[in-house]
């Protein structure tokens, strides 16, 4: 039996067995495996040149940053999930990978050279982040060289998605502006609901509550998580390149609105149940409010982007014409 099918989905095919591959294909797989193994060792043994660190591994450094509590790295606690999402995307597209025409592409070799140069530059500058970004480029460049553009094109998104693993410290500068935006919008919304409130810096004061929109409540962590979620959702739900980017970029204001919704919920619970409960138990679980609001907006915008407005307007015109007749 050549292939097994479940609900019209191919889960196994005999052509995927190693025994079904030609000698040249096996040699290519072995050669690529050696290259990937050497690259892994290079980034593991020579990937981190930052002084006063206990490990030379770029991977160890990155995972340690995911678990940081006091620095921006805590905003990247979702990094553990990102590689699995990328692998899931490749598995989902496996039929397209097998069907794609494969050939050696010299352009891929140039990509590999640029990636290696980036790693050298990152090592010289003691910037492990640059080395990690070069590793992502290498992971795309190697199959680009051996299998050609059609395979590389399918790998653009799953490889690019790995950027969400890399802690980019310059994003920490967004914490202050996000903090001020959340405070300002939260204040306006609370006032709009008819609740007496006064804004003093990043404090929201009322007879019912005193809320401090601290730096940790700026929404940066939620913003990074939301952009990661929206990237995958846009990739699967939007048909055109432009719509994918529109939805992805919209994740930034969506995340801000979601964080404001979280602040409003704390204020409302303070009014109804007291500040102690609102800033205690409810505050600890208010992240769910953020994701409910943000994901609802994301799904709603995706639906609006998928509407065929020409057909919709045409149907309205036909109905209006029939009603006049």
CA distances 75 to 11, 128, 220, Å, are 36, 18, 7
Distance CA 210, CA 267 (A): 9
pLDDT at 280 over 80: no
Question: What are 283-289's contacts with CB under 8 Å, separation 24+?
Answer: 286/262, 287/222, 287/262, 289/258, 289/261, 289/262, 289/265
Conformation bin of residue 5: beta by default, left when phi > 0, alpha when psi is -120 to 50:
beta
Helices (H), 148-174: 149-160
Task: Return the pLDDT at 246.
Answer: 94
Least confident of 28-42, 68-82, 210-224, 283-297: 68-82
pLDDT at 216 over 70: no
| Crossing angle of the two packed helices 241-273 and 175-192, in degrees rounded to 10 | 60
Burial class (CB in 10 A: 0-12, 13-18, 19+), 180: middle
pLDDT at 13 over 60: no
CA distances 315 to 158, 299, 322, Å, are 39, 24, 11
**Do 171 and 204 contact (CB within 8 A), yes or no?**
no
pLDDT at 165 over 70: yes
Quote the distance between the C-alpha of residue 209 and its chain's center: 35
Question: What are 300-308's contacts with CB under 8 Å, separation 24+?
Answer: 301/247, 301/250, 301/254, 302/233, 302/234, 302/237, 302/238, 302/247, 305/238, 305/243, 305/246, 305/247, 306/237, 306/238, 306/239, 306/243
**Do 258 and 294 contact (CB within 8 A), yes or no?**
yes
Task: Return the pLDDT at 176.
Answer: 78
Task: Return the pLDDT at 18.
Answer: 52
Sign, CA dihedral 34-39-40-45, equals positive
Task: Return the pLDDT at 198.
Answer: 84
pLDDT in tens, 228-269: 999 999 999 998 899 999 999 999 899 889 888 888 888 888
What is the pTM for the complete model shown?
A: 0.79
Question: If DSSP codes are grouped into helix, strand and coil, which group holds residue 102?
Answer: coil
In terms of average pLDDT, the best of 71-80, 140-149, 284-293 is 140-149
pLDDT top residue among 318 and 167? 167
């Amino acid at each position: 039996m050549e292939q097994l099918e479940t609900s019209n989905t191919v889960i196994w095919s005999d052509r995927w067995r190693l025994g079904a591959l030609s000698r040249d294909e096996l040699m290519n797989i072995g050669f690529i495996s050696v290259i990937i193994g050497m690259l892994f060792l290079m980034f593991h043994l020579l990937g981190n040149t930052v002084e006063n660190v206990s490990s030379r591994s770029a991977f160890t450094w990155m995972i340690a940053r995911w678990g940081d509590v006091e620095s921006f790295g805590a905003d990247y606690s979702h990094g553990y999930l990102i590689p699995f999402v990328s692998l899931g995307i490749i598995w989902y597209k496996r039929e397209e990978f097998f069907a794609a025409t494969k050939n050696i592409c010299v352009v891929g070799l140039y990509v590999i050279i640029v990636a290696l140069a980036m790693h050298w530059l990152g090592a010289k500058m003691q910037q492990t982040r640059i080395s990690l970004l070069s590793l992502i480029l290498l992971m795309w460049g190697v199959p680009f060289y051996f299998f050609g553009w059609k395979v590389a094109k399918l790998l653009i998104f799953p490889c690019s998605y790995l950027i969400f693993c890399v802690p980019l410290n310059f994003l920490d500068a967004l914490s202050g502006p996000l903090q001020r935006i959340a405070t300002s919008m939260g204040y306006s919304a609370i006032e709009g609901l008819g609740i007496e409130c006064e804004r003093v810096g990043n404090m929201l004061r009322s007879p019912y509550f005193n809320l401090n929109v601290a730096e940790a409540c700026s929404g940066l962590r939620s913003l990074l998580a939301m952009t990661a979620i929206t990237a995958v959702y846009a990739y699967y739900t939007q048909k055109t390149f432009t719509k994918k980017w529109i939805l992805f970029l919209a994740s930034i204001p969506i995340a801000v609105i979601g964080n404001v919704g979280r602040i409003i919920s704390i204020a409302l619970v303070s009014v109804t149940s007291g500040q102690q409960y609102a800033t205690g138990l409810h505050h600890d679980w208010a992240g769910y409010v953020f994701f409910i609001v943000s994901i609802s907006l994301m799904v709603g915008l995706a639906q609006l982007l998928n509407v065929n407005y020409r057909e919709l307007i045409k149907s309205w015109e036909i109905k209006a014409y029939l009603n006049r007749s």
